[in-house]
Structure 1
Amino acid sequence: MAWLEKSLKETITNEPRTYIAHYFQIFTPCTSKSGRITTFNQGYRQLHKDAHVTFRSDFHRRGQGVRVVLCGFDHDEPSRESITSMCSDICTARLPLFILCPNDRTNNDLSRGRWIPNVFPPNQLIPGRIKNQYRFVGQLMGIAIRRKHYVDLKFPNLLWKQLVDEQLTTKDIEDIDTESFVIIKIIADNIEKSQMSELRFDIVSSAGHTYELIHNGKDIPVTVDNFKEYCTRYREYRLNEFCRQITYIRQGLYSVVSKHFLTILTANELQEAVCGNGRIDIELLKRNTRYNNTSLESPYIQRFWKILSEMFNEEQKKLFLKFVWGRTTLT
């Protein structure tokens, strides 16, 4: 996508800036859902206010930009290690921003390991700090695109589609929650038989909480007469459950990479621009490996490549790559 490369260069921020060094400490994995002791939160606190400018800066211009140092890594730009470490916190329970999709929690094989935005009551405001953290997630996506510091974000297709304004379908919802529309099908088969008298105008969210579809919905039974309205409101909730959260992510992304260019991309193209090619090509890695005081023909080097290619699964290969290179993708 040569046109995207050109557009990124044309939108670099070159205004003079004071040189700042940020230092991230190393912490052991945090089990607290508050997410306060995480690299993401450290980066958020130090960078989010100016990220819309610094993440578009020409980091190679001397005396300008922001320098981020993670545990001794010293670069003239936010390092691969910094970005990878911050993003590795996103799809975990260490932050309150994302949760595993319902299919994962019900052991359904479809979309296992995919993380969706956390669910907030539809009639309540999302806290300001959470809004800004979602924006910072989008800004990290933006710098991943600009610097090709690909990150491993395990989001479902519906999130990528909404970021590029593609229309969602019921299939996109069923991809993360196979049972999401089963209730409507059951009602359609049984409502004429008056077997749904216990059902009300409420819904169980993707996080397992119950919300009313209309005011006092918990007291309004679903009947033959209002079944169509119930279906309409049910589908509307499902298709818009994460709309606000993804809007904030989109705002952050657009602040680093222009929306005029991103909306030309498809959902799959955007995902690849942010996350790269998820498969670890061992032969590509082998061709680009340089050896000191040894060679590819050495027996222990041969054993190393054999173990890496034949005994490591994809997740283990990503962890190895992160250890030696600071990121989890090759391309």
Structure 2
Amino acid sequence: MDLILLLLTEQQSQQTTANVEKTTSEHRFVFDTQKFPKVFRDILTTIDVIQALTDRKKQTPFPETFILQVNESQNQNLRLTRDDIEKLKNHFDGTADQQLMNFMNKELFANNSINDFLQRLPEELVPNATFYKNYSSLSNIPATDIRTRVKLLYQCGTLVEKVVPVLDFSLSQKQSMLLDRIKTAKTYLSYPTKFRWLQETLSKTDTEYSGSMPQVQFDTVKASATSNKQENTMFSQAFEQLHENAQTTFRRRCDHLWTAQYIGMHSTDGGGPYRDSITHICSNICSTRLPLFILCPNGRTNSGLNRDRWIPNVFPPNKPISNRLKNQYRFVGQLMGIAIRNKHYMNFNFPQLLWKQLVGDKVTMEDIEAIDMHSFTVINEMEQNMKQNRSIDNDTDIDYLFSSIMNELRFDIVSSASQTYELVPGGSEIPITANNFREYCTHYREYRLNEFSQQIEFIRQGLYSVVPGYYLNLFTASELEESVCGKGEIDIEILKQNTHYDGSLNENSPHIQRFWNVLSEMFNEEQKKQFLIFAWGRSTLPVRDEDFTTKFGINEYDLSSGEVDQALPRSHTCFFTIDLPEYSTTEIMYERLNYAITNCSSIDGDGNMNEIPEQMHVDSDSDD
């Protein structure tokens, strides 16, 4: 198939040259594509559509076969003409298209049909900045043109969906020119469609539940010790007991995959300790207690963006990573697989470059600068100085530049972990000169772009051992991150929609309204995460309503009138419920909730919250 595509591309190139008539018939073979099977013609049309969509110069026309299809669509609401499509060129670039796809994904993922979605869109001939206030690139585009672009992108996605079943997406990058072309348009494929394909592969690769559930013994005394011994961490304890069979255990479809036994606490794991153990495991991963990840350079220097992101630790180049570390990186990927399969999202603060490599995307210099703003500063400035000096033919200044300013520099590099490594064998003894500076820049950039490749590859192997990579390659980096970590922000509205109330309580009860006001208006993102840990033992929410296998519950809390404002709320993490006192004011509601989530987030032997002070009059809890 790749060979035919290559020959067709060559044929099209010959047909567009001015000397096509001079090309003799014996030197070129002309394909009659109408004799190809329909599915192959659809593939060729798809490739041409992708070329038109991704052409930044907007010089590639949409193929006539596609125009005929969309003009004769059975759904009259989706019909388009070539003139309709041509009018869009002046308004849409890659950024506007990406924002529009984000908007479409959000609406269509909420189970809205395309017809219902189109009916909701404004139709003015002028921009509607109010409707598109959250999408800056769309707020200046005429509303009617956005509607037309929605139709176009939906039709393009439908075309790709037709050909996906006959393609082999298990092939990696550069193994198939055809697949690489299709993957360049992954941002134009709707997330609901990709999600459905992924769910189908997950269902086919579930493992049957047989035998007893693995029991994982956690020594929380050692885990919480001040020593930095990595073997004491919750991650290391889980790794030692789970990693050998993780590729099968983690593919089971059940609420929790192991029973967490906290040594000395005698707790019965109905789900709360399990979720709590995952929260602690994730917190170990993005910490200095393990040698797997380090805070990115921007975080260590407190400058630039992404200061809270953790990057894979850096090891000497051209030296093998130990088998134990390889397996631990794979275990991190297998934990990601749990999140995707069971919607138990993980709180990983990884940068975009890690997620990009996991879905087979190329890491760019911009990705590196996003976690290390000074990564290319020196060589960029040097290249600029050399360019300016050469433009005035001043070789003397160039020689002075290297002899005086760069005479201390050698063919080595300071890594993202602040260690110095040679870029070539013996590089520490090779000075940088005007003659080898370009070679130095090439090695420098190559190192930076591949500094974490080996470590991320082990994570990818672990992830793909739990979740088939067949369709993950069609996900964008952001989509994979959301599938693993949930939404970056806690969506209080979706939590509210998936809440049930006990007894006489309802959403209009005065203290219930105060509760939601505190969560949505007064808590910051960190407090919202802490509340989820307090109530559920996890720090993220599912993305969709149907992914809430357990609804959040608010129970009545019977207290005498004089005790209500002094009491703390009580959580039942196994059941994702809280007992909420009827606090008399919003301010007291905030103070008591904030105290509870800050000081009472660990589970003791009976499921009680530790370290609750006497004066707060909190009842004991024994059902976790």
TM-score for both structures, normalised by structure 2: 0.50
Q: CA deviation at 1:7?
A: 0.9
Hey, what does 1:36 align to over in structure 2?
Answer: 231
Matched, 1:237 2:447: yes
Provide the secondary structure at the position in 2 that maps to 1:23: strand
Indicate which of 203, 206, 231 corresponds to 2:416: 206
Hey, what does 2:285 align to over in structure 1?
Answer: 90
Q: CA deviation at 1:46?
A: 0.5
Indicate which of 317, 322, 325 corresponds to 2:528: 317
Q: Once the two structures are superposed, what CA deviation does each residue of 1:208-261 show, in whole Å capped at 9, x if it has no partner?
A: 111111112111111011011101100110011011111110111111011212
Structure 1 pair 306/66, CA: closer, same or farther in 2 (3 Å)?
closer
Q: Once the two structures are superposed, what CA deviation does each residue of 1:252-293 show, in whole Å capped at 9, x if it has no partner?
A: 111101121222212111111111112112222223223335
- Opposite residue 369 of structure 2, the aligned amino acid is E
Conservation of the 8 A alpha-carbon contact between 2:356 and 2:363: yes
Conservation of the 8 A alpha-carbon contact between 2:272 and 2:537: no
Using the alignment, how far apart are the partners of 1:325 and 1:47 within structure 2? 23
Conservation of the 8 A alpha-carbon contact between 1:138 and 1:249: yes
Hey, what does 1:50 align to over in structure 2?
Answer: 245
Hey, what does 1:286 align to over in structure 2?
Answer: 496
Hey, what does 2:557 align to over in structure 1?
Answer: none
**Number of matched residues?**
327
Q: CA deviation at 1:188?
A: 2.0
Matched, 1:168 2:379: no
Superposition map of 1:1-331 within 5 A: 1-14=195-208, 16-17=210-211, 19-27=213-221, 29-59=224-254, 67-71=258-262, 72=267, 74-75=269-270, 79-190=274-385, 192=398, 193-194=401-402, 195-293=405-503, 294-330=505-541, 331=543
Using the alignment, how far apart are the partners of 1:76 and 1:197 within structure 2? 62
Structure 2, unaligned runs of 5 or more: 1-194, 387-397, 544-624
Higher relative contact order (CA 8 A, sep 6+): 1
Structure 1 pair 77/304, CA: closer, same or farther in 2 (3 Å)?
closer
Structure 1 pair 244/73, CA: closer, same or farther in 2 (3 Å)?
farther
Using the alignment, how far apart are the partners of 2:350 and 2:423 within structure 1? 26
Hey, what does 2:152 align to over in structure 1?
Answer: none
Conservation of the 8 A alpha-carbon contact between 1:190 and 1:196: no
Tell me the percent identity.
Answer: 56
Q: CA deviation at 1:23?
A: 3.3
Using the alignment, how far apart are the partners of 2:293 and 2:425 within structure 1? 27
Provide the secondary structure at the position in 2 that maps to 1:144: helix
Using the alignment, how far apart are the partners of 1:59 and 1:306 within structure 2? 34
Q: CA deviation at 1:18?
A: 5.3
- Higher mean displacement: 16-25 or 284-293: 16-25
Q: CA deviation at 1:164?
A: 1.1
Hey, what does 2:14 align to over in structure 1?
Answer: none
TM-score for both structures, normalised by structure 1: 0.91
Conservation of the 8 A alpha-carbon contact between 1:131 and 1:248: yes
Provide the secondary structure at the position in 1 that maps to 2:239: helix
Larger radius of gyration: 2
Conservation of the 8 A alpha-carbon contact between 1:70 and 1:81: no
Provide the secondary structure at the position in 1 that maps to 2:217: strand
Structure with more of its chain in helix, by fraction: 2
Using the alignment, how far apart are the partners of 2:453 and 2:414 within structure 1? 17
